Structure 1
Amino acid sequence: MPKVSLKLASDESAAKLAGKMHDIVIKEKETEAEKLAGSLGAPYINLFRFPITAEAISLIPEIEAQKKKVVCFLFTGSEIRLGAINPQKEEAKELLHVLEERHHSRGVIYLISENSFKEAVKFYSALPVIKPITKDVSITEQDLERLGSSINSLIEFKKQLANLDNVTDSVTLLVAAALKLEASDVHVESEEEGAVVRYRLDGILQEAGLISKELWSRIISRIKLLAGLKINIIDTPQDGRYTIVLKNAKVDVRVSTLPTVFGESVVMRILKSVSALSFEELGLQDTLLGALKKQIERPSGMVITTGPTGSGKTTTLYAILQQLNKPGVKIITLEDPVEYKMPGVNQSQIDASREYTFVKGLRSLLRQDPDIVMVGEIRDLETAETAIQAALTGHFMLSTIHTNNAAGAVPRFLSMGVKPFLLAPALNAVMGQRLVRRLCNVCKKEISLEEMSLKKARETLQKLPAEFLTKHQIILDNLKFYGPVGCEACNGLGYKGRIGIYELLEMNKEIEALILKNDVSGYAMEEVAIKNGMITMAQDGLLKALQGITSVEEVFRVVE
C-alpha cells in the first residue's frame, strides 16, 4: 500500500512541476513579446483570460483570423482593438482600415504572443452556428427548361399560359418566357376582367396574355413568397427579390408590387450577368470611336456618359474598362449594384443601409492607390467634387450623370454647385447616348419615307461636315432607308435586339472658356461642340439607318 501511495504522490508532483514549467515558459514568451512590442513602438497585451465578447471576435471571420494571425479582442462601437502576432504586416494594417471604414470606428493594433492568439481563437467555438435561411418555395432550372423549351414567340407563350391552371407552373412560365424571349421586365397588371401580362422586349412593352382574376390572386401570393414579401399586405407597395441559380450563372429577379383599383399589379425585373461588350458590338463606329479611344488613353481627367435610365451608360463604361484593363493598371469601381463581374478589376458595391454611399466609398477607394476609378453615378455635389479632385490629382475617372444629351452635362454640374474653374480642367469628354432597336435581319426591307420624315432626315444629315459626307459616299438627294416588316424570327415586331447611338463632346479651349463664364446653357454648349465637329446622336442614328441597322422612325422616336 505505501508503495502505491508513494507512486501517486510522485505522479502528482510531476504533473504540478510540468504545469509550473509550462507557466514559466509562457511567461517568458509573454515577456519576449512585450519587449518586442517596446522595440517596435507598438502597444502590447496578454489575452490570457481576457473576456472577449462574441461581437468583437466575430468582426473577423475565423478563416481570415487564422490566415492573417489577427483577432479582434475589443469592440465598443466607436473603438476597435486588434491583436496581431506581427502588427507591422501590411495585411494587418489593411484589415484594420477596412474595419474602421465599415464600422465608422477608430482602431489600434496590439502585438500579441502566439499563446495569446491561441487563447483568443478559442472564443470562435462559442459563437452560434448560423445556418442559411432557405425558402420553402423556389424556381428550379429543370422547371424553367420544362416550361420554357417550347416558347419561341409571344404567340406560343399566350397559348401555353391559357392552358395552365396550376399556380406553380404559371409563375415559372412567366419567368421562363422572359428568359427565353430575352425580356428585361415582366409586367402583370390587374384590370377589371383579369391580369394582363406584358413583356418589355428591346425597351418596348408587348402584350403577351391574360390571366383570370381568380388565378392571379393565387399567383401573386406565390410571387410574394418567392420574393420574401408579406402575403397578407395588399394595400401597400412592397419590394423584394429572389435568385434563380442556373448551371453557368445566377439570375436575380427584383419584384415590385403596387395596389391599384382592380387589385395588385407586379413588375419583375430580370437581371442577368452578361460579359462586357466590345466597342463595335455597342455600335461605336468610325470617327466617334477614334475620338473616344484617344480620350480614354489619357492618363488623368474625367470621361462622363449621359442619358436617361436604361440607355446603356453602365454597359459603355464597362466596355471602356475592358479596353483599359491591362497588367500594371489598378482599376477600382464603385457601383449600385455591381452589374458585370470583371477579372482584374476591384469592384465595390455601395450599401446605403450601412451608410456606405458613393461619396464615402469614393473617398475610401482613393486611398487604395488606383490608376482608374469608375463611379456608377454622380448624384450630388459632394460626389462630384470628390470625383473632380481625383481627376485633377492624376487619376482617370469614369462616371455617369442623368442629362438628355452630352451638352447638358456641364450645366448639370454647375447647377449642383461645382466650381467652374475646377470643372473645366478636370473634364476630358462627355458622351451622350440612347439605345435604338435593331431591324430584324430576316425581314427588313428598303422603304420610301414620307416626305416630312425624309426632309427631316436630309436636314439633319446636311449639317455633317462636307468632307465626312464625301468620305462615306452619302448623297443627300439619294438616301436609302429600311423599315420593319415582322416575321417569326422577331415575334412579328420587325425589330430584334438593340444598339447604341452616340455623341461625343470633347473639351477644347472654346468650350473651356464657356464653362469658366459660369452662365452656359445646354444649347450654347451643343452649338459650339457641333461647330467643332461633334456628330450628334440623331446624326449617328441616321448613319446607322442608312446602313440598314435601324429605321429612321426608331431614331427620331428615341432622340426626340
Structure 2
Amino acid sequence: MAVAVKKQLIDVLLQQGKIKNETAQSFRHLSNFEVENKLITENMLEPTDIARAYAGLYNLPFVSLANRQISKETLELIPEGLTRQYNIIAYEIQKEPVKTVRIAIAKPAKLAGNLQETIATLEKGKGFKIELAITTLADFLTAVSQYQASTPPVEKVNFKTLNLDQITIPYEVITKFPENIALKYQMVVFSAPHSSFIKVAVADPDSKKVREILDFVKTKNNIAIEEYRVTPAEIERAIRFYHPEKLPPKPVTVSPPPPPQKQEEHKVEEKKEEKKEEPTAPLPPEKEKEKEKVTEAVPEISGSMSAQLVIPVENDLDKFVGKPIKEVSDLQAVVETGNVPKIVAASVILAVSKKASDIHIEAAEKNVRIRFRVDGLLKDIVRLPLEVQPAVVSRVKILSKLKIDESRIPQDGRFDCIAMGHAVDLRISTLPTVHGEKIAMRLLDKSAHLYTLEELGLVDRNLKVLLENMNKPYGLILSTGPTGSGKTTTLYAVLTRISNASVNIVTLEDPVEYEMAGVNQCQIRPKIGFTFANGLRSILRQDPNIIMVGEIRDSETASLATQAALTGHLVLSTLHTNDASGTLPRLADMGVEPFFITSLINAIIGQRLVRKLCPKCKRQAHIPAPIAKEIEAELEKFNLPKPYQFFEGAGCDECELGYKGRIGIFEVLTMSHELENLILERKPASDIKRAAIKEGMITMKQDGLVKALKGLTTVNEVMRVITV
C-alpha cells in the first residue's frame, strides 16, 4: 500500500489553524519528526492534535484505541517485536468481501522510511489487504499492553500507581535516562533519593523489553529501582521536564518545599486502590555508607539503546574512582577491574596528574592503545583489551553528549569534570578508523594560573620590543605559529599585562580557555552563526578599547580585524604561519591591502614551545663539532663568552626523561621603512626575514640557543621545533 505525501506536517497544522504562520515559517527547515517533537516538548500542541494533522497529511483516518478491545487473532497478525519496532498495531479484521486488516500507526513520520516496505511485505506474505489509520502514541501503548493479556500470564506483578502529573521532576533527575529512551520505552525517573536508589514511572511495566532494560540498569549500576505504573499520557506530559527552560513559571507539585540544608525526595501520593505505605527497596549496609559514591553502567550489553541507559556520572572523577591515580600502575590496576567508566575516569585523572594536554584512545588490530601528549610529545601509557573498545567509546560519547549509535562519521563534543582537584574542560573528537573509532581528548585545566610574559620565556630585546608596542592605543598584535605552540596563552599574558579599570577589553574565543577578571570574554558558536567575523562586527558596537580575536581564519575576519585597528582599537589575534616574517605575505594573500598592513602592524610574535630541562638531573652535554660551528655562527652577534657550554637531562624519578614542563622561544618583528617597502613590493617572506634580522630581530632559533646556553632547554629540543 503506497502513501502519497504532497506537503509537510506544518502545512496541515497551519491549514487546520493549530499554529500561526510565523511558527510555521520558523519550523520550515525541520523534518516532520522534529516538528512533532518540538511542538510536544514546548507544550504548543497536544499529541491528539498532531496525530489528527498526520491523518490529514497522509489522507488517512484517525482512530482512537484507548477503549478498544483487540482480539488475539488480530494481534497475532503482527509479531509484538515488529509492532513495537515500528509503532504499528493491527486493531481490526474485516473478512468480507475481501479480507482486510486495519493497522494503526503511532509514529507516522516513519512512513518515509522502511515502514512502507514492511507493510508491502505483510500484504504479500499474509495474503490480505491492509488499510492504515493514525493513532496517538498513548493509545498505541495502551493497545500494545493487550499482547500480554493474549498470552499465558508469567508472574504478574502488582505495581504501585501514582499521579505523575502532580510531581515536578528536577532536570538532573529525569535526565538519568536519556530522552530518547524515555520516549521509546515510555518510562522516566521521577525521584532519586540518593545515588543507589531511583524511582521510575513506567507506562507498560509488564513489557519484556522494559523489564530487560531495568534489570540491566539494576545489575550494572548496582542500584535499587522502585517502579510505578502510570498512564502513557502522563509519560508524554512528563517528557517536558527534559526542557525546563520551556516549562511554565510555577509548575504544580504535591512535594513540600525542601529545607535549605537538605534536599528531600518528592513525596508521592498513591491512588486509593493501592496500599498507603511506600516501602523502598532495602540497601545493603555497605551501600548506605557509600551514598556519595557514584556508580555507572558499562555502556554495552543489551544493544545500542540499552547502551545509552546509564546513570550519569558525577563530574567529580576523584570521588568516582575512589582512590588516587598518580602513576601508570594505578591506572593499570583500574584497567584490570574491567570497569569501563572507571577506566575512562582514571585515564583523565592520570592525564591531569601528568600535565598532559591530550589523551588519545586508539583501536588497533589486537588491542586498544591509550597515549598522552605530555610536553608536546605523545607517549604510550597503557593497553586495553580490544573487547572493551566499543564500551570505552560509548562511555566517552555519553559524557560528551554525542550520538553513541553513530560511528560512521566524526563527531565533536565536550564535558567538564573535576580531576586531581582541578576544574578541567575536555574537548572530544571522534574519528572512524578501520579498527573502530578513535577518540582524542584535549584537556584544558581551568585551575591553571595565567602566566606572565616573563614566565612564558619573553626576555631581553623581545620583551622590551613587545612591551613598547602593546602599550600603543591602536594597531595589530599577532601571535603566530603552528597548532599547540602557545599562541593563545601568549595573548592572555599580553591582556593580563595591559588590563586595567580604564579600558574595555572584549574577546572572541573558541573555546574560552581561561577566565580573566575584568575582561568580557565571548565564546563563538559557528553552528548558530556566531562566528569570529559576525562576533567582531558586534564587538565594535560595544565601545571596546582592546579586542582579542582568537584566530584569523579567513579573509572576512582579516578584513574586519584590520578595519577595527584602523578605527582606533588595539586588536590582538593569532595566525597559523611558520614564523613572524611569513605573516605579512599571508595577510596579503587573505586580501588585506599591503598599505594597511604596513600602517597597522604593531608587532608580530613568532613562537614555538620547547621542553624545559629538569633542574634535578641536568648535566653538561657534548655537542658535535659541526653543530657547534653552526651554533657559533647563529650566536655571533650576541658576544657571549666562549667556549659555549650546553646541557642535557639524565632522567630521574622526578622527570623520567630529563625534561619537565615547557618554555617558549620567540621572535618579535616590528615594522620599519625597509620592511614596509618590501611588503608594498610584495616580496617573499625570506626577503622580509633577512631584512628584519639585519635590523636586529632575534630569531626563534637564536632565542632557543640562548636559552639552551642558560640551561633552560637543550640544543636537540631547539633543533626539533625549528625547521627553518
TM norm structure 1: 0.72
Aligned to 1:136: 311
Of the candidates 659, 665, 672, which is equivalent to residue 508 of structure 1?
672
Asked if residue 478 in structure 1 is aligned to residue 643 in structure 2, the reply is yes
Q: Return the alpha-carbon distance in structure 2 between the equivalents of residues 258 and 250 of structure 1.
A: 26
Asked if residue 149 in structure 1 is aligned to residue 324 in structure 2, the reply is yes
Amino acid paired to 2:340: V
Asked if residue 366 in structure 1 is aligned to residue 540 in structure 2, the reply is yes
Query: Contact 1:407–1:505 at 8 Å: present in 2 too?
Result: yes
Q: Return the alpha-carbon distance in structure 1 between the equivalents of residues 408 and 247 of structure 2.
A: 46
Query: Contact 2:614–2:649 at 8 Å: present in 1 too?
Result: yes
Asked if residue 530 in structure 1 is aligned to residue 693 in structure 2, the reply is yes
Query: Contact 1:135–1:226 at 8 Å: present in 2 too?
Result: no
Structure 1 residues 110-161: Cα deviation after superposition (integer angstroms, max 9, x where no partner): xxxxxxxxxxxxxx995697xxxx973225426458566252x44x346435
Of the candidates 415, 424, 429, which is equivalent to residue 251 of structure 1?
424
1:257 Cα deviation (Å)?
2.1
Change (3 A) 1:360 1:159: closer
Q: Return the alpha-carbon distance in structure 1 between the equivalents of residues 250 and 589 of structure 2.
A: 52
Give the SS at the match of 2:696: coil
Query: Contact 1:54–1:127 at 8 Å: present in 2 too?
Result: no
Structure 1 residues 389-408: Cα deviation after superposition (integer angstroms, max 9, x where no partner): 22122211111111000000
Amino acid paired to 1:493: L
Aligned to 1:77: none
Structure 1 residues 466-496: Cα deviation after superposition (integer angstroms, max 9, x where no partner): xx42xxxx13x40100112111111x22111
Change (3 A) 1:188 1:289: same
Structure 1 residues 140-197: Cα deviation after superposition (integer angstroms, max 9, x where no partner): 426458566252x44x346435533222221111111111111111111111221111
Q: Return the alpha-carbon distance in structure 1 between the equivalents of residues 659 and 693 of structure 2.
A: 31
Amino acid paired to 1:494: G
Change (3 A) 1:145 1:483: farther
Asked if residue 385 in structure 1 is aligned to residue 559 in structure 2, the reply is yes
Give the SS at the match of 2:683: coil
Query: Contact 1:147–1:173 at 8 Å: present in 2 too?
Result: no
Amino acid paired to 1:351: R
Asked if residue 217 in structure 1 is aligned to residue 385 in structure 2, the reply is no
Aligned to 2:346: 173
Query: Contact 1:144–1:172 at 8 Å: present in 2 too?
Result: no
Query: Contact 2:644–2:709 at 8 Å: present in 1 too?
Result: yes
Aligned to 1:269: 442
Q: Return the alpha-carbon distance in structure 1 between the equivalents of residues 420 and 330 of structure 2.
A: 24
Q: Return the alpha-carbon distance in structure 2 between the equivalents of residues 299 and 427 of structure 1.
A: 12
Q: How does 1:312-323 map to 2 (within 5 A)?
A: 312-323=486-497
Q: Return the alpha-carbon distance in structure 2 between the equivalents of residues 250 and 159 of structure 1.
A: 24
Change (3 A) 1:227 1:135: farther
Give the SS at the match of 2:581: helix
Give the SS at the match of 2:627: helix
Change (3 A) 1:506 1:224: same
Aligned to 2:609: 435
Query: Contact 1:148–1:177 at 8 Å: present in 2 too?
Result: no
Amino acid paired to 1:180: S
Aligned to 2:95: none
Query: Contact 2:331–2:350 at 8 Å: present in 1 too?
Result: no
Of the candidates 484, 488, 493, which is equivalent to residue 653 of structure 2?
488
User: Please, which moves more after superposition, 450-459 or 297-306?
Assistant: 450-459
Change (3 A) 1:228 1:406: same
Query: Contact 1:240–1:255 at 8 Å: present in 2 too?
Result: yes
Q: How does 1:78-227 map to 2 (within 5 A)?
A: 126=248, 136-141=311-316, 143=318, 146=321, 149-151=324-326, 153-154=327-328, 156-157=329-330, 159-161=332-334, 163-227=336-400
Q: How does 1:411-430 map to 2 (within 5 A)?
A: 411-430=585-604
Query: Contact 2:320–2:342 at 8 Å: present in 1 too?
Result: no
1:348 Cα deviation (Å)?
1.4
Q: Return the alpha-carbon distance in structure 1 between the equivalents of residues 610 and 623 of structure 2.
A: 18
Q: Return the alpha-carbon distance in structure 1 between the equivalents of residues 393 and 634 of structure 2.
A: 49
Change (3 A) 1:373 1:148: farther
Amino acid paired to 2:311: D
Change (3 A) 1:128 1:453: farther
Aligned to 2:568: 394
Change (3 A) 1:461 1:247: closer
Aligned to 1:72: none
Q: Return the alpha-carbon distance in structure 2 between the equivalents of residues 158 and 245 of structure 1.
A: 17
Structure 1 residues 492-532: Cα deviation after superposition (integer angstroms, max 9, x where no partner): 22111111000011111111121222x21110110110000
Change (3 A) 1:543 1:444: same
Q: Return the alpha-carbon distance in structure 1 between the equivalents of residues 457 and 602 of structure 2.
A: 21
Regions of 4+ moved over 4 Å: 52-55, 124-129, 144-148, 245-249
Change (3 A) 1:552 1:144: farther
Amino acid paired to 1:137: P
Change (3 A) 1:513 1:167: same
Q: How does 1:451-470 map to 2 (within 5 A)?
A: 451-462=625-636, 464=637, 468-469=638-639
Query: Contact 1:148–1:173 at 8 Å: present in 2 too?
Result: no
Change (3 A) 1:127 1:558: same
Aligned-residue sequence identity (percent) comes to 45
Q: Return the alpha-carbon distance in structure 1 between the equivalents of residues 371 and 673 of structure 2.
A: 50
Q: Return the alpha-carbon distance in structure 1 between the equivalents of residues 660 and 439 of structure 2.
A: 25
Amino acid paired to 2:316: E
Structure 1 residues 432-475: Cα deviation after superposition (integer angstroms, max 9, x where no partner): 0000011111111111112232222222212x3xxx42xxxx13
Q: Return the alpha-carbon distance in structure 1 between the equivalents of residues 646 and 320 of structure 2.
A: 40
Q: Return the alpha-carbon distance in structure 1 between the equivalents of residues 719 and 457 of structure 2.
A: 17
Change (3 A) 1:454 1:150: same
Give the SS at the match of 1:163: helix
Q: Return the alpha-carbon distance in structure 1 between the equivalents of residues 630 and 469 of structure 2.
A: 32
Query: Contact 2:481–2:579 at 8 Å: present in 1 too?
Result: yes
Q: What are structure 1's unaligned runs of at least 5 residues?
A: 1-51, 56-123
Of the candidates 675, 683, 694, which is equivalent to residue 520 of structure 1?
683
Task: Give 1 or 2: higher helix fraction.
Answer: 1
Asked if residue 545 in structure 1 is aligned to residue 708 in structure 2, the reply is yes
Amino acid paired to 1:257: T
TM norm structure 2: 0.56
User: Please, which moves more after superposition, 242-251 or 352-361?
Assistant: 242-251
Q: How many residues align?
A: 426
User: Please, which moves more after superposition, 540-549 or 227-236?
Assistant: 227-236
